[in-house]
């Protein structure tokens, strides 16, 4: 599948990398770019040979948020179409973020520069965030008279707590990388020159184990704040039953038993 506004590559370790490729627009998310992003996420999710995903941006920015051209079209649309057009766009935004958050394999955002608005939310929708010294984050929606629509109101409180999330969203202020690390927004900081390589190496480390077990575990963990302990145990029991039937589990147990027998 050919892409023009993003790049999709898979390395020898089966780590996929999606790169937002509108550096002249600071990788702002246009409708066409979102369509390509959705297709790439679906492709990565469906390919069992791919073990993990890294997302980054070309040039100096990670993602500047929504595209200005889309904002202008929304402002100039006939009054009777604004509501439905906005609803339709929101469905696409939510579908994209859900694909990212529910990806059945580890996902790392490698934030190389500014991540603003939807860009900051996109980073939060990943499992982990690694950032360079040039990275910054801003939930600047309120400065445009809108609310965070890319998952920030869900993901940010889970990383920094409710009060701090309110402060960052209410002010829309910029959070530079060292503060982002201190707050727990960023999991690791590294140099700009090694950011992508470090993210890909981390992705390879995270995805060494059974793909089946990782996918099922991630699915349950993503819901664990909303579920009761009984529900978590119930889902875990079902997932374990699936794992017992996997070829990965059989191979791992056979290797363990053979190693134990050799020691006797």
Alpha-carbon distance of 94 to 100, in angstroms, equals 10
> In the prediction, which pLDDT does 95 show?
96
For residue 26, what pLDDT is reported? 96
Q: Which residues pair with 189 in a beta bridge?
A: 131
Cα(188)–Cα(185) distance, rounded to whole angstroms?
9
pLDDT of residue 71: 66
With cut-offs at 50, 70 and 90, classify the pLDDT of residue 255. Answer: confident
Q: Which tens digit of pLDDT belongs to each residue from 189-225? A: 999 999 999 999 999 999 999 999 999 999 999 999 9
**CA-to-CA distance for 65 and 178, rounded, in angstroms?**
21
Taking residues 223-230, report their average pLDDT.
96
- 158-181 burial: b if 16+ Cβ within 10 Å, else e: ebbeeeebeebbeebeebebeebb
Tell me: the pLDDT tens digits for 157-174? 999 999 999 999 999 999
* Residue whose structure tokens are 């050799």: 262
pLDDT for 171: 98
Amino acid 87: pLDDT:
80
Q: In this predicted model, what pLDDT tens digit does every residue of 78-111 receive, in sequence order?
A: 877 777 777 888 899 999 999 999 999 999 999 9
Residue 30 pLDDT class (50, 70, 90 cuts):
very high
- What's residue 89's pLDDT? 83
pLDDT of res. 72: 64
Q: What is the mean pLDDT of residues 242-255?
A: 92
**pLDDT value, residue 1:** 65
pLDDT per residue as tens digits for the range 7-21: 999 999 999 999 999
Instruction: Indicate whether 142 pLDDT > 70.
Output: yes
Average pLDDT for 227-252:
95
Listed in order, strand segments (DSSP E) in 112-230 are 114-116, 128-131, 136-138, 174-176, 188-189
At 228 the pLDDT is 96
Assign 17 to helix, strand or coil: strand
| pLDDT tens digits, 33-78 | 999 999 999 999 999 999 999 999 999 999 999 877 666 666 676 8
Query: 64-68, 124-128, 143-147, 252-256: which has the minimum mean pLDDT?
Result: 64-68
pLDDT of 79: 75
Q: What is the pLDDT of residue 75?
A: 66
| Positive/negative CA dihedral, 2, 88, 93, 26 | positive
* pLDDT score for 259: 83
User: pTM for this structure?
Assistant: 0.93
What pLDDT, on a 0 to 100 scale, did the predictor assign at position 20? Answer: 98
């Amino acid at each position: 599948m050919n892409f023009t506004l993003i790049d999709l590559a898979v390395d020898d370790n089966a780590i996929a990398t999606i790169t937002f490729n509108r550096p002249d627009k600071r990788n702002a998310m246009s409708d066409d770019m979102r369509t390509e992003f959705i297709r790439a996420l679906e492709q990565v999710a469906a390919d069992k040979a791919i073990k993990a995903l890294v997302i980054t941006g070309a040039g100096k920015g990670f993602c500047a948020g929504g595209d200005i051209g889309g904002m202008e079209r929304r402002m100039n649309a006939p009054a009777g179409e604004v509501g439905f057009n906005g609803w339709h766009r929101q469905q696409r935004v939510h579908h994209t973020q859900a694909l990212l958050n529910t990806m059945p394999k580890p996902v790392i955002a490698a934030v190389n520069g500014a991540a603003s608005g939807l860009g900051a939310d996109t980073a939060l929708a990943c499992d982990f965030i690694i950032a360079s010294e040039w990275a910054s984050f801003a939930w600047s929606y309120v400065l445009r008279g809108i609310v965070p629509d890319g998952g920030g109101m869900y993901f940010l409180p889970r990383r920094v707590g409710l009060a701090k999330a309110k402060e960052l969203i209410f002010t829309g202020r910029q959070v530079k990388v060292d503060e982002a690390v201190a707050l727990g927004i960023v999991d690791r900081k590294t140099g700009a020159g090694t950011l992508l390589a470090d993210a890909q190496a981390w992705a390879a480390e995270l995805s060494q184990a059974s793909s089946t077990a990782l996918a099922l575990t991630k699915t349950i963990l993503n819901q664990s704040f909303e579920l009761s302990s009984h529900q978590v145990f119930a889902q875990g029991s079902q997932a374990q039953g699936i794992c017992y039937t996997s070829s990965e589990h059989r191979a791992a147990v056979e290797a363990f038993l053979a190693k134990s027998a050799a020691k006797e």
